Amino acid sequence: RIERVIADDRAFAPSEGRLPPLTARLQIDYTSAKLSTASRVRFRFKLEGNDAEWIDAGARRQAFYTNLPPGAYRFRVAARIGGGEWMESAEPWAFSIRPAVYQTTWFSGLCIVALASATWSAWRYWLHQVRRQHALVMAERVRLVHGTVTIDSIPQQGTRLAITVPHAEVSV
């Protein structure tokens, strides 16, 4: 029988089936229905959804878990007196740990959409820059071919530029 549940230093009634997101420490206190032979009672427990096998607790009446991921669980406890047969509790405790916002499926999907959108936007920006640069280069070539270079379009850092105009040669 489950007596008490403590999650992150906060007590919960065993009837509560939902624990808060990001529960880091879980303590489950249990006992045997037969207290007359308490010193000879041995326990074992299993948390379905986490434990693959039963855990032999000996005479200890507490189970501890840390950093359980979000999901559904079922805590089962069995007791035996001396070398007798294991008798499982009639009422296993079923509970779940709610996921934090960033652990939900919709949040993961939203992140994927945001990443795809950011990648697409960056690619579009890069493509715009390449096209703009290409247009500038092509415009400069057209000006050079037609001889329509102005003084403002000539580089100002001591670079020499020779331009041939149909009936004259100009050197700058």
63-73 per-position pLDDT tens digit: 999 999 999 99
Q: Is the pLDDT of residue 81 over 70?
A: yes
Q: What is the average pLDDT value for the chain, to the nearest integer?
A: 83
Alpha-carbon Rg for the chain in angstroms: 38
Lookup: tokens for 40: 């000879």
pLDDT, average across residues 156-167: 55
Q: Of 134, 24, 43, which Cα lies nearest the Cα of 87?
A: 43
Percent of the chain at pLDDT > 70 equals: 83
Q: Which pLDDT value is given to residue 153? A: 54
Q: 41 pLDDT band (50/70/90 cuts)? A: confident
Q: pTM above the 0.75 mark?
A: no
91-121 per-position pLDDT tens digit: 888 999 999 999 999 999 999 999 999 999 9
**Residues 33, 36, 39, 40, Cα dihedral to 10°:** -80
